[in-house]
Amino acid sequence: MDFALSERARDHLGRLQDFMDSHVYPAERVYADQRRDLRAEGREHHVPPVVEELKVEARRRGLWNLFLPGIEDPAHGLSVTDYASLAEVTGRSPLLAPEATNCAAPDTGNMEVLHLFGTPEQKARWLRPLLDGEIRSAFAMTEPDVASSDATNISTRIERDGDHYVLNGRKWWITGTADPRCKIMIVMGKTDPEGHPYRQQSMVLVPLDAPGVEIVRPLPVFGYQDQHGHCEITFTDVRVPMDNLVGTEGGGFAIAQARLGPGRIHHCMRAVGMAERALELMCRRALSRTAFGGPLAKQGVVRAQIAESRMAIEQARLLTLKTAWLIDEHGVQAARSEVAAIKVIAPRIALDVVDRAIQLHGGAGVSDDTPLAEMWAGLRTLRLADGPDEVHVRSVARAELGRYPGA
Ligand SMILES: Cc1cc2nc3c(=O)[nH]c(=O)nc-3n(C[C@H](O)[C@H](O)[C@H](O)COP(=O)(O)OP(=O)(O)OC[C@H]3O[C@@H](n4cnc5c(N)ncnc54)[C@H](O)[C@@H]3O)c2cc1C
């Protein structure tokens, strides 16, 4: 296995780190202040202006769409292994850097779907403005009424009527849909409820302003509202042209698998970056805070926590890189078990590290004076989003047992 960065990736990494130091970290406080002001004006889900300023600067520096190997310029695409190191750096400031570089979920997964399965018209209408960072998008699979970790349960109906599809159903936790910049959803539903369990589903593009789409409410996470919003949405006789079908009828399940593979590993890369930032904050705090006659860093228990964190991060990074390398060399299918494993391991380890960092900061750790509390909340939800841990553990067990007769 070769995890060495390509020359192009090394160049990007240096410029990205420079951008983080000069623009992103200083913008974190500005972002928090602007969000507070927008909230006071009743515009909770409007983007703070500093994000759009960062996007302009990142693009000017060539730090744009790094996640999608070769789409803009096939000769110079970055490998998934290359991207792992870049995404780790953006994960250090998770609310700003991924979006500033147009590498934020769920747009990345949606752009990949449109890139792989979209028609030329769909690409021109939706992929182009997404690649240019002009609009945002959402992916609508989860439903309140069924256990959605098993995607075969999805019950939203997509029925043909002449040259249109008609959608009826209810979704929730649809990230991004409260942000006024979000213009398009990829919606998964059933076109053939009587078909084979993995051939019943299809995906269609639904503009947010289509008649019959109603945003019921943005759901809070641990009591807080995300800037982009995770919304509950109803679809009542929503009509979209048949041209809005993504891929083929009955191909929705396969597209969901294709979409969630790389998307999951991107989350893991960023989780490693969050853990690194938390460990850095932990070390700085341990060296600068004095209790019981000396810096906290002198306490054996604190040193053990620091060491445990370093050891765990190294493990998570190595498995992330191995998974990225497998995808590069053999494709997403060959890396399925590793993608499932790292989707469990990276958030779990990062959550542990952030938790230790919070503890070492005392009361400051749970305030918003550091990024730790926000990181903890984001990582905790990552143990559910894109499939809960148990479902991925199930996949790892299936692959392991599958090596033996009688499995
Ligand atoms: C912050 C956030 C953002 C999200 N964004 C999106 C989005 O943009 N689009 C979207 O479509 N969805 C999104 N989701 C939804 C997320 O993907 C689902 O919550 C997740 O897939 C689980 O589905 P569910 O909530 O229906 O849980 P259920 O399927 O009801 O499962 C509940 C629990 O049951 C247990 N369980 C399930 N299966 C097994 C098993 N095989 N073995 C043992 N235990 C099991 C697990 O503990 C699981 O957490 C988001 C969720 C969150 C929290």
pLDDT of residue 78: 87
Average pLDDT, rounded, for the chain: 95
Residue nearest to atom 35 of ligand 1 (CA): 390
Lowest mean pLDDT among 60-64, 68-72, 264-268: 68-72
CATH superfamily of 253-401: Butyryl-CoA Dehydrogenase, subunit A, domain 3 (1.20.140.10)
Higher-pLDDT residue of 331, 99: 99
Residue nearest to atom 52 of ligand 1 (CA): 385
pLDDT of residue 379: 97
For residue 387 and ligand 1, the question of a CB distance below 6 A is answered with yes
Task: Name the nearest CA neighbour of 270 among 133, 96, 93.
Answer: 93
Our mutation pick for probing the ligand 1 site, out of 141, 384, 386, counting the most ligand atoms within 8 A of Cβ, is 384
Lowest mean pLDDT among 151-155, 255-259, 353-357, 403-407: 255-259
Tell me if 7-118 shares its fold with 253-401: no
Architecture of domain 7-118 in CATH?
Orthogonal Bundle (1.10)
Please identify, by atom number, the ligand 1 atom nearest to the C-alpha of residue 148.
Answer: 26
Q: Which pLDDT tens digit goes with each residue over 375-386? A: 999 999 999 999
Among residues of the chain, what percentage have pLDDT more than 70?
A: 97
Q: Is the pLDDT of residue 76 over 70?
A: no
pLDDT of residue 69: 62
For residue 19 and ligand 1, the question of a CB distance below 6 A is answered with no
Q: Which pLDDT tens digit goes with each residue over 236-290? A: 999 999 999 999 999 999 998 877 666 678 899 999 999 999 999 999 999 999 9
Report the residue count for the chain. 407
**How many CB atoms lie under 10 A from the CB of residue 385?**
20
pLDDT of residue 173: 98
pLDDT of residue 331: 87
pLDDT of residue 70: 52
Higher-pLDDT residue of 407, 165: 165
**How many CB atoms lie under 10 A from the CB of residue 191?**
22
pLDDT of residue 75: 44
The pTM score is: 0.96
Domains of the chain: which residue ranges? 7-118, 136-246, 253-401
pLDDT of residue 357: 98
Residue nearest to atom 45 of ligand 1 (CA): 390
For residue 381 and ligand 1, the question of a CB distance below 6 A is answered with yes
What six digits make up the tokens of 144? Answer: 């309140």
Q: Is the pLDDT of residue 217 over 80?
A: yes
Q: Is the pLDDT of residue 62 over 60?
A: yes
Q: Which pLDDT tens digit goes with each residue over 14-31? A: 999 999 999 999 999 999
CATH superfamily of 136-246: Butyryl-CoA Dehydrogenase, subunit A, domain 2 (2.40.110.10)
Q: Is the pLDDT of residue 74 over 70?
A: no
Averaged pLDDT for residues 352-376? 97
For residue 174 and ligand 1, the question of a CB distance below 6 A is answered with yes
